[in-house]
Amino acid sequence: MSDIHQPFHATPVFPRGFRCASRNVGLKPTARDLTLFVSDVDAAAAAVFTRNHFPGAPIVLGRETLKGGVLRAVIANSKVSNVATGARGVENARRMAAAAAAEVGTTADRVLVSSTGVIGVQLPVDKIEAGVVGMTGELQDNPMVGAEGIMTTDTHPKALSASVGAATITWVAKGSGMIEPNMATMLSYIFTDAALDAATLDRLLRAAVSRSFNMLSVDTDTSTSDTCAILANGLAGPVDESEFLAVLQAGCTRMTEILARDGEGAEHLLRVSVRGGHTPREAHVIAKSIVNSPLVKTMVHGADPNVGRLLMAIGKCFDCTIQPLTTDAWINGYQVVAHGERLAFDDAIVRETLSREVVDIEVSLGVGTGEAQAYGCDLTKGYVDENAAYYSS
């Protein structure tokens, strides 16, 4: 799906010193619902979290935990998000961290807690406390096992890995709906055996996220639980920082595309590139406007060459510098707009290109040098069906 030529491993593997386990502890009827990621040694760590004004209890605790810049483990549950649960929810998150710390042999301030699932339900923390016991005996090298335990409406577990010098970077994530970063109902954990300190990790993570996860949107809805954390245990020694950032960015972008393609009910990955914006910020706004437009999404879903919807999504960005006479647009390389006017294109050709699994929309604004790329998916009846009964399912 990606144009990035980074050689990701054919089968995802963990970096040195990282392992995971997942099991069912009774939050779901049968599927895995609790995951534990563990480093053999303390790891430098950094994270970015949701900007939603109703952050879940794990976010409240996570912001406190990451001030220390060191993690030994991550524990995450699915099914119940521990959001809108008040002081009791924060206490349950602390109990979850303490239970994982006791199992791993560390302290609670070195455990990151995440929860994902239904909002407004108290976390059955007793089940987690009992269920985590013995999980260290099940730790293994397959990151897909950990990915399974954090799935909600995801249709498949998501993990990938790549090499950078002598080190490895591994990404494990979940997310398919309520995705519009500033972060998304996205839990994303990045593990590396490169030797990098917490301050460097924070800087590199924010640079990578700004161009990848924060340009992802399934439905414009910013979740209350979004977390993207990176852990570096240093077991592979130092790496070239610029090379590390390049691979980190490539992996975050690839995972962004995987998450977008697995959007609830999605049938198409939608990638929107905007160039020639007055500023990078304006290009960002316009790219997001296009990828978020329900009418553009349904145009893609129905393979309907109604490019007026594309112009609408650009033109409604009132605070951006837009000149119709310099605006051009392409769908999968086929030009459909020139100088702000719809071209007399062959409808059959455009319908065919819109029917492909990956739809690339490219816009040239011709008013500056700003560029941005956004990632999303089409809007289908499956999305409505999935979310109309999410709370009761």
The amino acid at 362: E
Separation between Cα atoms, residue 259 and residue 278, nearest integer Å: 29
The two three-digit tokens of residue 15, written as one number = 């970096």
The two three-digit tokens of residue 142, written as one number = 């397959």
The two three-digit tokens of residue 180, written as one number = 């519009």
Residue positions annotated with a catalytic role:
185
Task: Report phi then psi at 43, rounded to 5.
Answer: -120, 140
3-state DSSP percent of the chain in helix, strand and coil, to 5: 35, 25, 40
How many C-beta atoms lie closer than 10 Å to residue 216's C-beta? 28
CA atoms within 13 A on the CB side of 221: 14
Q: Where are the alpha helices (DSSP H) in 132-264?
A: 143-148, 198-211, 241-261
What one-character DSSP code corresponds to residue 67?
Answer: G
CA angle 255, 259, 260 (to 5 degrees): 115
The two three-digit tokens of residue 54, written as one number = 């109703």
CA angle 282, 287, 293 (to 5 degrees): 125
Q: How many helices (H) and strands (E) does the chain have?
A: 11, 14
How many C-beta atoms lie closer than 10 Å to residue 42's C-beta? 15
From 279, 104, 275, select the one nearest 290 (Cα to Cα). 275
The amino acid at 342: R
Strands 227-237 and 187-194: parallel
